[in-house]
């Protein structure tokens, strides 16, 4: 649907107003990161300074939280890439008993509210006497990261012709060669996009994490603690700005990698 006529004025205002509503709060984060006000959220900021960026860079607790978040996101994304791709290949390429069940199972962790995933994992850990560790966080994150990778990979597998694989085999390539030289180059960008989105999602996750982290602090948990009991507002402002930059870059990159008309998992998280 596309029209060459001009939009009615009312519609134009409503749409642009909506756009401002969507973007202004994020822009505000960037202003507050440089404010000189320390105790309140005063607007307009009384002055601008870059001092708090330096202070934040020197904070050990922020770095530790960041390191844990990056570690968890990296492991979860790797696990999700392996399992998501395998499942996508099986679901897209063959019909087998339980195929529908598996494609429903993969969507479930995203369809149910995060709090349900969180509390059920937590109660399972306590029933089985599993102590909290990095791996309990990873267990929760990988569960929903798989969906993202799966959605991206399954769309690409459906578009890639199966004849390519047969042709490679007929020409004498063995299974490993076929995978490395034919399948992988075909699905690489979809995996990269899915992997980046999964990484961003894991890096940002807080609801499931509060249930599976025990007393470890990932960056979102650090933010949550600051939100509930503010200790140093300027540092929080700078961290918030950094997090926006870190999560937005992969999204823009994923957009450029898959924008040739393909539906990415990003559209429904």
Contacts to other proteins from residues 157-196, by CB under 8 A: 169, 174-176
Task: Give dist(CA 111, CA 122) in Å, integer.
Answer: 19
The only residue of 56, 76, 143, 258 in contact with other proteins, by rule CB under 8 A: 143
Number of residues forming the site for other proteins (CB under 8 A): 84
Would you tell me how many other CB atoms lie within 10 Å of the CB of residue 64? 15
- Paired tokens of 129: 């006497």
In terms of Cβ atoms closer than 10 Å to its own Cβ (0-12, 13-18, 19+), residue 81 is buried
Q: For the packed helices 219-228 and 60-93, what is the interaxial angle rounded to 10 degrees?
A: 120
Give the number of other CB atoms < 10 A from CB of residue 175: 11
The least CB distance from residue 50 to other proteins, in Å, is 19
When binding is defined by CB under 8 A, the residue of 131, 228, 231, 260 that contacts other proteins is 228
Which range binds other proteins by CB under 8 A, 53-61, 156-164, 186-194, 197-205?
197-205
Tell me if 11 contacts other proteins by CB under 8 A.
yes
Question: Given candidates 68, 139, 168, 193, which one binds other proteins under the rule CB under 8 A?
Answer: 139
Residue 56 or 87: the one with the smaller Cβ distance to other proteins is 87
Q: Are 117 and 143 in contact (CB under 8 A)?
A: yes
What tokens appear for 153 in the block?
């990979």
Binding mask 97-136 for other proteins (x = CB under 8 A): -x---x--xx-xx-xxxxxxx-xxxxxx--x---------
Least separation in angstroms between residue 14's CB and other proteins is 4
**Cβ 186 vs Cβ 164: under 8 Å:** yes
Least Å distance, CB 158 to other proteins, is 16
Question: Contact between 238 and other proteins (CB under 8 A)?
Answer: no
Minimum CB separation of residue 8 from other proteins in Å reads 7
Indicate the length of the chain as a whole number: 269
For 145, 154, 229, the CA distances from 108, given in Å and listed in that order, are 12, 16, 33
Closest distance to other proteins from the beta carbon of 83 (Å):
5
Q: What angle do CA 62, 66, 68 make, to 5 degrees?
A: 120
Q: How far apart are CA 18 and CA 12, in angstroms?
A: 10
Query: Shortest gap between Cβ of 185 and other proteins (angstroms)?
Result: 18
Query: Which of 230, 244, 256 minimizes the C-alpha distance to 30?
Result: 244
**Which residues in 65-94 contact other proteins (CB under 8 A)?**
82-83, 86-87, 89-90, 94
Q: How far is the CB of 31 from other proteins (least distance, A)?
A: 9
Q: Is residue 96 a contact residue for other proteins (CB under 8 A)?
A: yes
Residue written as tokens 């005063």?
42
Q: Which residues within the stretch 203-222 sit at the binding site for other proteins (CB under 8 A)?
A: 204, 206-207, 210, 220
Q: Considering the rule CB under 8 A, would residue 48 count as an interface residue with other proteins?
A: no
Regarding 57 and contact with other proteins (CB under 8 A), the answer is: no
């Amino acid at each position: 649907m596309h029209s060459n006529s001009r939009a009615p004025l009312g519609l134009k205002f409503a749409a642009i107003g909506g756009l401002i509503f969507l973007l202004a709060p994020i822009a505000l984060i960037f202003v507050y990161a440089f404010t000189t006000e320390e105790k309140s959220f005063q607007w307009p900021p009384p002055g601008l300074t870059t001092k708090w960026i330096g202070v934040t860079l020197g904070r050990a607790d922020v770095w530790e939280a960041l390191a844990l978040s990056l570690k968890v996101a990296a492991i979860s994304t790797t696990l999700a890439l392996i399992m998501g791709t395998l499942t996508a290949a099986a679901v897209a390429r063959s019909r087998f008993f339980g195929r529908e069940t598996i494609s429903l199972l993969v969507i479930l962790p995203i369809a149910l509210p995060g709090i349900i995933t969180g509390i059920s994992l937590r109660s399972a850990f306590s029933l089985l006497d599993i102590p909290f560790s990095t791996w309990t966080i990873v267990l929760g994150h990988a569960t929903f990261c798989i969906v993202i990778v799966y959605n991206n990979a399954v769309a690409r597998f459906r578009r890639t012709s199966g004849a390519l694989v047969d042709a490679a085999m007929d020409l004498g390539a063995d299974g490993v060669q076929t995978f490395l030289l034919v399948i992988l180059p075909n699905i690489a960008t979809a995996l990269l996009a899915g992997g980046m989105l999964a990484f961003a999602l894991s890096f940002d996750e807080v609801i499931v994490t509060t249930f599976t982290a025990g007393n470890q602090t990932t960056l979102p948990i650090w933010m949550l603690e600051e939100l509930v009991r503010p200790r140093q507002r300027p540092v929080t402002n700078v961290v918030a700005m950094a997090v926006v930059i870190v999560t937005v870059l992969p999204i823009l990159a994923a957009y450029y990698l898959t924008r040739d008309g393909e539906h990415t998992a990003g559209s429904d998280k």
